[in-house]
Amino acid sequence: MTGGAVTDRAVTGEAGAGITVLITDDSLVIRAVVRSHLELEGYTVVEAMEGLDALDRCRQSPPDVILLDIEMPGLDGYEVLAILKADPLLRDLPVVFLTTLTDMKSVLRGLRGGAHDYLKKPFEPAELVARVAAAAHVKKLQDQLRQRNTELDLLSRTDVLTGLHNRRHLEEELAHHHSRAMRHGDPLSVLLLDIDHFKRVNDGYGHPAGDVVLAVFAERLRQELRDGDVAGRWGGEEFLVVLPRTDLAGALSVANRIRRVVAATPIVAAGVGIAVTVSGGCASGPLGGSDQLVDVADAQLYAAKAAGRNRIMA
Ligand code: GH3
Ligand code: MG
Ligand code: MG
Ligand code: MG
Ligand code: MG
């Protein structure tokens, strides 16, 4: 095949699409040359002529890759790198040094300081582009990993059927609000709700209909709560609500509102309207510990069931 360079040029212009490179160098000529090579590959290039300016730009709108000179007036490149590495929001940005300091001591100082790569001036344009691409690739993988972790984190805290918090997360939230309440001397209430005769729903309409009832119940519950309230699925058809800064009277009124809303409108599942009621137990504290609060609510729930269901006890 002939005309390799032409072929290369034909496939360029795409590699850098959507990738922003910050070139930090006190030399206008270097900035201009680097810019032209990278723009040819489709990169978006922003420039800083000194370290503080580069840091400002990173904080305002982080680039994907930072090309960094070492010898500059003001902060030198090593100092800029150290500041980036000390900032939790910026420490993962890949830094590629681009410098006339070619001795091994300088190279090692840069790499040991956390630089992704180290390029010496004068540079070969194709090599510069390839190393920037490699740095951008690492950045992309890091972003994907972070995104995935965020999703996993959310999943690990969420009950799949209802979208409410799961038990593990509820326990964490409860412990958190309990210690807060103790510290501030605020009241804290919990509400344990259990759907009445839920087994009959499953038996009468099928398990999938039971699942729909749980999901709709959860939605109604969510709508009756305030922003700071924490609701989750405690077990099968049992739900726990944590009500920060709420005393027993407040908790009872929330609980009865939920109870009435649930009883007022049958839940449509499997093509029929299913009458659903809920019983609840309330407890207020903070008592000795968050477990104790739940135990009291559970005992009250038991009492509400024994007293005939569709009621709240405290
Ligand atoms: P009570 O009024 O005393 O609470 O009676 P109940 O029938 O609601 O209580 P019981 O504990 O006897 O039955 C709860 C049922 O909830 C049994 C269980 O199979 C069902 N269940 C638990 N988790 C799920 C779920 O995720 N989906 C469905 N469809 N059913 C569930
Ligand atoms: Mg310089
Ligand atoms: Mg039940
Ligand atoms: Mg139950
Ligand atoms: Mg129980």
Within 8 A by CB and 6+ apart from 156, the residues are: 166, 168, 169
Q: Is the CB of 233 under 6 A from ligand 1?
A: no
Structure tokens at 49: 């002529």
**The model's pTM:** 0.74
Distances (CA, A) of 234 to 124, 153, 158, 191, 220: 62, 19, 12, 11, 16
Distant-in-sequence, close-in-space partners of 65: CB < 8 Å, separation ≥ 6: 19, 20, 21, 22, 93, 94, 96, 132, 135, 136, 139
Q: Is 63 in the pocket of ligand 1 (CB under 6 A)?
A: no
What are the φ/ψ torsions at residue 222 (nearest 5 degrees)?
A: -55, -40
CA dist., res. 181 & res. 245, Å (int): 7
313 three-class SS: strand
Please name the residue whose Cα sits nearest to atom 15 of ligand 1.
199
Tell me the residues surrounding ligand 3 (ion) with CB < 5 Å: 194-195, 198, 237
Determine the pLDDT at residue 70: 98
Give me ligand 1 centre to Cα 195, in Å: 8
Please name the residue whose Cα sits nearest to atom 19 of ligand 1: 199
How does pLDDT run along the chain (314 residues), one tens digit per residue?
444 444 454 455 688 999 999 999 999 999 999 999 999 999 999 999 999 999 999 999 999 999 999 999 999 999 999 999 999 999 999 999 999 999 999 999 999 999 999 999 999 999 999 999 999 999 999 999 999 999 999 999 999 999 999 999 999 999 999 999 999 999 999 999 999 999 999 999 999 999 999 999 999 999 999 999 999 999 999 999 999 999 999 999 999 999 999 999 999 999 999 999 999 999 999 888 999 999 999 999 999 999 999 999 99
Q: Are 236 and 159 in contact (CB under 8 A)?
A: no
Residue whose Cα lies nearest atom 14 of ligand 1: it is 199
Site to substitute for ligand 1 among 213, 237, 259, 262, most atoms within 8 A of C-beta? 237
- Cα→Cα distances 88→52, 59, 177, 198, Å: 18, 11, 27, 49
Active site positions, annotated: 237
CA distance 24 to 98: 9
pLDDT at position 10 is 45
